[in-house]
Amino acid sequence: MTTPQMLAFAIIIVMMALFVWGRIRFDLVAILALFAAVVVGVVEPDAAFVGFGDDIVIIVASALVTSSAISRSGVADLAVKRLGGFLQTPPRQIAALAGLVMVLSAFVKNIGALSMLIPPAFQIARKSDTAVSQLLMPMSFASLLGGLVTLVGTSPNIIVSRIREDITGEPFRMFDFAPVGLPLAAGGLIFLIFGYRLLPKGRRGAASVEAAFNIQGYTTEAVVPEDSPYVGRPAADIAALSAGDVQITALIRDVHKRFRNPSGQIVRPGDHLILEGEPHELEQLVVTAGLRLGRAENQPELTDVDDEVGVMEAVVTADSFMVDWTPEKLRLFDRFQVNLLAVSRSGERVATRLKSFRFKPGDVVVLQGNLKVMPDVLRDLGCLPLAQRDVAIGRGRRTYLPIALLLAAMLLMALQLVSVPVAFFGAAVLVVATRCIGMREAYAALDAPVLVTLACLIPVSDAMRTTGATDLISAWLSAAAGQLPPVGALALIMATAMAVTPFLNNAATVLVAGPIAATFAKSLGYSADPFLMAVAVGAACDFLTPIGHQCNMLVMGPGGYRFGDYWRLGLPLSVLVLAVGVPLIAFVWPIGG
């Protein structure tokens, strides 16, 4: 073993130990590993920062932006509404979410399938008070298992097919992987439905800010337009759209007519509905029922190209001059360029039009305006801004456009018209360009620790190849496999691919281990097919760390996971894949000899 090889192994071992120890931030560990690799010379200075432009970083960053746009679109809310009360327990939630991710991942890029279903997972977790950490990792693992079923499900399958074509002149076909992949995926899903209990309880991830600061009973005002489908129907039909999450506290007609019990009233154009509920539910009801928020049509003034209209929450302080005044008397928009969208008053139901709402100290308000000047406006109004969180109301969401853009990107990938990074990057650009998500929200969606970790680990893992450490592993693998019976050699090949994938990524693992496995099989008179299958399965099933596959990294921040959380659920799942996969491969693809 040469000195560079020993140094490369040492850096990897120390890095993994620090990851497992968990006392140092995982992104800082990755930065330190890259720095050490450059200092000792196993990574050339010119190659130290190539990871920041790597395709994997671009794909993950684009997926984060697109997923955030889907979350804001309201599709997740609609999906959760239709599922109703069925998904009330974690096993049912995992069965539905992970099962759907698994099916989609067999035919489309797994990170795309996962991106589409992360927002519904958050909505379901919020509705049922389930820790989102119990859902996201099973979904990520399910996306990897789903990729085992078809040729296009995952990169290792495609690369293994090409290696087989080079050896035999015939590649694997579309569903050659299914006899092994389907049982593994089904068995893995059953395990995940019950095995989620191995994950730490109570992790709320990125949603914890909203969970920790949860204001009950916001009130907003919506107007029934002439073209609303609910004109001529009872107001109760509108309330029913929210499945009881939003209440109509009053119906106001022709300025003076007020119905305090509006449920039985027939809705007319121009009616003002006073709605009470959570911001997400209020916004969803307004969109679904074809209503419009009852604020002035005036839009906040934008003077610079980077100005953006948004909403902020604030508390009316005792010193605010707004106290005992109404928005109409204060001329909020004319004087301060802000619209009042919603209010919340502890212990009191609001049943008046917002323009007539008389402010009191302690009222929580949702104001819409130019985000650049909003902090100054709140200071002038004597309001205290609250911790920033995702407030849905007043966003003017474009419900189906973000998911349509992502589906179009995945279709282009499936047809091989564009590359994977270009497709995801294009989807992210278009959701911003079409204003499905604002630039501030897009930047906020980028999980910097995850992206930095990926970018730093790419050159560190590549040092295993450039120093010849992977060749050394290959020699050890061939020597060890030669001493085992055929099934034992098959198990060793699969286990090694699983162990190496976190450091080389799955495509590189197949490129290194695939030819070795084929050559080893040929030298002993075995069929190459089962060994190539073992490499494909092992390389695709990285359940032990977050760094081997972009899907695992994608859920790390939102799920609030630590590095050591992955092996809790991933180790028994890996053992299951080995225990079931090796006999299956040997049965479907006889080893011979």
Structure confidence by residue, pLDDT tens digits, 425-471: 999 999 999 888 878 788 878 878 878 887 888 888 788 778 888 67
Query: pTM to 2 decimals?
Result: 0.65
Confidence (pLDDT) at 10: 92
Strand partners of residue 366: 313, 342
Residue span of the structural domain in which 375 resides = 309-340+353-385
For the cut 50, the answer to whether the pLDDT of residue 209 exceeds it is: no
Confidence (pLDDT) at 146: 93
Q: Are residues 313 and 380 in the same domain?
A: yes
Least confident of 202-206, 303-307, 412-416: 202-206
Least confident of 242-256, 372-386, 389-403, 461-475: 389-403
Burial (CB < 10 A; 0-12, 13-18, 19+), residue 35, is middle
By the 8 A CB rule, do 78 and 119 touch?
no
Q: Using CA atoms, how far apart are residues 29 and 11, in angstroms rounded to an integer?
A: 11
The answer to whether position 520 is within a domain reads no
Q: Write out the DSSP string of 200-255.
A: PTT--GGGHHHHHS----EEEEEE--TT-TTTTSBHHHHHHTTTTSSEEEEEEETT
Q: Are residues 376 and 329 in the same domain?
A: yes
Confidence (pLDDT) at 84: 55
Confidence (pLDDT) at 302: 67
Q: Are residues 258 and 325 in the same domain?
A: no
Tell me which range, 19-33, 486-500, 540-554, is most confidently predicted by mean pLDDT: 486-500
Q: What is the CATH number of the domain that holds 245?
A: 3.30.70.1450
**Higher per-residue pLDDT: 13 or 116:** 13
Q: What's the average model confidence in pLDDT over 546-559?
A: 82
Q: Are residues 285 and 323 in the same domain?
A: no
The answer to whether position 15 is within a domain reads yes
Please give the angle made by the CA atoms of 555, 557 and 562, to the nearest 5 degrees: 95
Q: Are residues 232 and 259 in the same domain?
A: yes
Q: Using CA atoms, how far apart are residues 519 and 499, in angstroms rounded to an integer?
A: 20
Q: Using CA atoms, how far apart are residues 91 and 581, in angstroms rounded to an integer?
A: 24
Q: Using CA atoms, how far apart are residues 193 and 138, in angstroms rounded to an integer?
A: 8
**pLDDT > 70: what percent of the chain?**
87
**Higher per-residue pLDDT: 461 or 105:** 105
As a whole number, the mean pLDDT across the chain is 82
Q: What's the average model confidence in pLDDT over 367-394?
A: 76
Strand partners of residue 223: 272, 292
Q: Is 592 helix (H, G, I), strand (E, B) or coil?
A: coil
The answer to whether position 30 is within a domain reads yes
Q: Which amino acid is at 468?
A: G
Q: Are residues 325 and 288 in the same domain?
A: no
The answer to whether position 562 is within a domain reads no
**Residues whose CB is less than 8 angstroms from the CB of residue 95 and which lie 6 or more positions away in sequence, other chains included:** 189, 193
Reported confidence tier of residue 569, pLDDT bands at 50, 70, 90: very high
DSSP run (H or E) holding 586: helix 565-588
Of the residues 462, 492, 513, the one at which a domain ends = 462
**Residues whose CB is less than 8 angstroms from the CB of residue 545 and which lie 6 or more positions away in sequence, other chains included:** 19, 502, 552, 563, 566, 567, 570
The answer to whether position 103 is within a domain reads no
Strands (E), 347-423: 364-370, 383-385
Reported confidence tier of residue 345, pLDDT bands at 50, 70, 90: confident
Q: How many CB atoms lie within 10 A of CB 587?
A: 11
Tell me which range, 76-85, 242-251, 373-382, 455-464, is most confidently predicted by mean pLDDT: 373-382
Q: What's the average model confidence in pLDDT over 257-286?
A: 81
Angle between helices 506-523 and 528-540 (to 10 degrees): 160
The answer to whether position 252 is within a domain reads yes
Q: What is the CATH number of the domain that holds 373?
A: 3.30.70
Of the residues 462, 493, 521, the one at which a domain ends = 462
**Higher per-residue pLDDT: 203 or 332:** 332
Structure confidence by residue, pLDDT tens digits, 479-529: 777 788 889 989 988 998 888 787 666 766 776 677 778 877 877 788 889
The answer to whether position 265 is within a domain reads yes
What single DSSP character describes residue 386?
A: P
Q: Which amino acid is at 407?
A: L
Q: Are residues 266 and 233 in the same domain?
A: yes
**Higher per-residue pLDDT: 21 or 101:** 101
By the 8 A CB rule, do 310 and 388 touch?
no
For the cut 60, the answer to whether the pLDDT of residue 332 exceeds it is: yes
> Looking up tokens 């009881």, which residue turns up?
244
Q: Are residues 266 and 329 in the same domain?
A: no
Q: Are residues 319 and 280 in the same domain?
A: no
Reported confidence tier of residue 130, pLDDT bands at 50, 70, 90: confident
Confidence (pLDDT) at 214: 45
For the cut 70, the answer to whether the pLDDT of residue 85 exceeds it is: no
Q: What's the average model confidence in pLDDT over 359-380?
A: 87
Structure confidence by residue, pLDDT tens digits, 36-49: 999 999 999 999 99
For the cut 50, the answer to whether the pLDDT of residue 208 exceeds it is: no
* Cβ density class 240-258: b for 16+ within 10 Å, e for less: ebbeebbbbbbbbbeeeeb
Number of domains the chain is built from: 3
For the cut 90, the answer to whether the pLDDT of residue 193 exceeds it is: yes
By the 8 A CB rule, do 31 and 456 touch?
yes
Of the residues 427, 462, 497, the one at which a domain ends = 462
Reported confidence tier of residue 79, pLDDT bands at 50, 70, 90: low
Q: Are residues 287 and 314 in the same domain?
A: no
For the cut 70, the answer to whether the pLDDT of residue 394 exceeds it is: no
Q: Using CA atoms, how far apart are residues 420 and 399, in angstroms rounded to an integer?
A: 25
Reported confidence tier of residue 294, pLDDT bands at 50, 70, 90: low
Q: Are residues 222 and 285 in the same domain?
A: yes
The answer to whether position 506 is within a domain reads no
Confidence (pLDDT) at 341: 86
- Strands 272-277, 247-253: pairing is antiparallel
Q: Write out the DSSP string of 1-27.
A: --HHHHHHHHHHHHHHHHHHH-SS-HH
For the cut 80, the answer to whether the pLDDT of residue 117 exceeds it is: yes
Q: Using CA atoms, how far apart are residues 235 and 264, in angstroms rounded to an integer?
A: 6
For the cut 80, the answer to whether the pLDDT of residue 12 exceeds it is: yes
For the cut 60, the answer to whether the pLDDT of residue 279 exceeds it is: yes
**pLDDT > 90: what percent of the chain?**
20
Reported confidence tier of residue 213, pLDDT bands at 50, 70, 90: very low
Confidence (pLDDT) at 34: 93
Confidence (pLDDT) at 228: 85
Q: Are residues 270 and 324 in the same domain?
A: no
Q: What's the average model confidence in pLDDT over 133-143?
A: 93
